[in-house]
Amino acid sequence: MYNKYLEDIKTYEAGKPIELVVREYGIEAKDVVKLASNENPLGCSPKVAEAIAKNASKAALYPDDSMYELKEALSDRFSVASENIIIGAGSDQVLEFISHVKLNSSSKILRSAVTFAMYDIYAKQFGAKVITTPSYQHIANEFIEKIESENPDIVYICTPNNPTGDATKREDIFAIIEATPKDSLVVVDCAYMEYVEDEDYRVTPTDFLKYDNVIYLGTFSKAYGLGGMRVGYGIANKGLIDVLYKVRPPFNITTLSLLAAIESSKDEEFVAKSVALNKEQMGRYVEFANSKAIEYIPSSTNFITYMFDDKYDSSKIATNLMKQGVIIRDLASYGLNAVRITIGTATQNDRLFELLSKEL
């Protein structure tokens, strides 16, 4: 009765919202600690909150559909031209545009064994086949082998990778790009790039503008603290951006989202503060893992993945914590006996360590 391609899609399971824990377990919202969706524990820049409050009545107006000011802000930040930028309702929407312009029922996408779930969901909507490399890490040789044998239409490089937190070396990213035929696209999803310190792993959109078939994706949802406003972007050569514009609906982000993204771009200090807090608290998560002999994946993001051995069940641990008001992300649906924990404030992390210690 419905599009047959949809039968194969597992509906995206978002991190559990605070409201659910309030409803189901009768815990007050202020006592719930959400470390499940990689949001910024500092919230958003106070400048953003102020601007939204002051401009609330603009909710009545359609946004500036050229998104001129936001594109100017991104142009400045990344040293690219406005014509190289497309804005989406989250970078999720840019992923959707990319799938639209590239995929049909005889297409293939290539991704690492464990990565962002939306790549598959969009691919399957078009009946495209999903090819995976053997490892969760982005191993250049594994990608190149599959590119040669399968000739995928889209190659996804998620760096740093969600939900594992590891980043891919620049040289490996370029090796994968160079091995990809010119009529296939390479998507470099950099949702967490703000947290990457090591120069060998840091990439910027200008690294890829010389390639006609590569797009850089970024978002305001993580380090910029605007997950609730849904603003992301793609940066690529003009030819590719022009094609993506053909499938973009008008007014695809809201007036207040646009304003929030523009304001947040003026407060780089807030981003720097967020990244510094993350680094400091990440150290505590590494220490905790070592002290409890938990295996973890060294992370270049604002979350850490703890891998459990057979003694423990990640789903049970996540549920037990949730009943006590701390939400983390169980990775059982990715085929891992592991949990992904967003790095919170010191107080939030204290609470997580306290509850998790009791589980172990």
Ligand X SMILES: *Cc1c(COP(=O)(O)O)cnc(C)c1O
Select from 40, 45, 84, 91 the one that contacts ligand X (CB under 6 A).
91
Going 36 to 230 to 189 to 81, the CA torsion angle's sign is negative
**What are the distances in angstroms from CA 266 to CA 51, 215, 223, 260, 263?**
12, 25, 14, 10, 5
Question: Which residue's C-beta sits nearest to ligand X?
Answer: 90
Residue 219 touching ligand X (CB under 6 A): yes
Query: Which CB sits closer to ligand X, 116 or 285?
Result: 116
Select from 63, 90, 152, 325 the one that contacts ligand X (CB under 6 A).
90
Residue 232 touching ligand X (CB under 6 A): yes
Tokens read off for 169: 């070396």
The CB-of-222 to ligand X minimum distance in angstroms stands at: 6
20-28, 41-49, 87-95, 268-276 -> range binding ligand X (CB under 6 A): 87-95
CB 217 within 8 A of CB 185: no
Residue 98 touching ligand X (CB under 6 A): no
Select from 99, 112, 162, 274 the one that contacts ligand X (CB under 6 A).
162
Residue 355 touching ligand X (CB under 6 A): no
In the three-class reduction of DSSP (H, G, I as helix; E, B as strand; rest coil), residue 284 is classed as helix
Query: Which CB sits closer to ligand X, 98 or 355?
Result: 98
Identify the helix (H) or strand (E) that includes residue 172.
Answer: helix 170-179
User: Phi, psi at residue 237, to the nearest 5°?
Assistant: -65, 160
The CB-of-15 to ligand X minimum distance in angstroms stands at: 10
Select from 97, 116, 126, 201 the one that contacts ligand X (CB under 6 A).
116
The CB-of-190 to ligand X minimum distance in angstroms stands at: 8
Residue 136 touching ligand X (CB under 6 A): no
Query: Which CB sits closer to ligand X, 125 or 151?
Result: 125
Residues 6+ apart with CB under 8 A from 7: none
CB 188 within 8 A of CB 216: yes
68-76, 90-98, 122-130, 322-330 -> range binding ligand X (CB under 6 A): 90-98
The CB-of-161 to ligand X minimum distance in angstroms stands at: 7
Residue 189 touching ligand X (CB under 6 A): yes
Rounded Cα gap, residues 163 and 340, in angstroms: 7
**What are the distances in angstroms from CA 299 to CA 39, 223, 341, 343?**
16, 15, 11, 11
Rounded Cα gap, residues 88 and 254, in angstroms: 10
Tokens read off for 57: 């009545």
Select from 45, 221, 281, 299 the one that contacts ligand X (CB under 6 A).
221
Vertex 197, ends 95 and 87: CA angle to 5°?
Answer: 25
Query: Which CB sits closer to ligand X, 114 or 355?
Result: 114
CB 275 within 8 A of CB 336: no
Select from 73, 191, 209, 215 the one that contacts ligand X (CB under 6 A).
191
What are the residues binding ligand X (CB under 6 A)? 90-92, 116, 158, 162, 189, 191, 219, 221, 227, 232
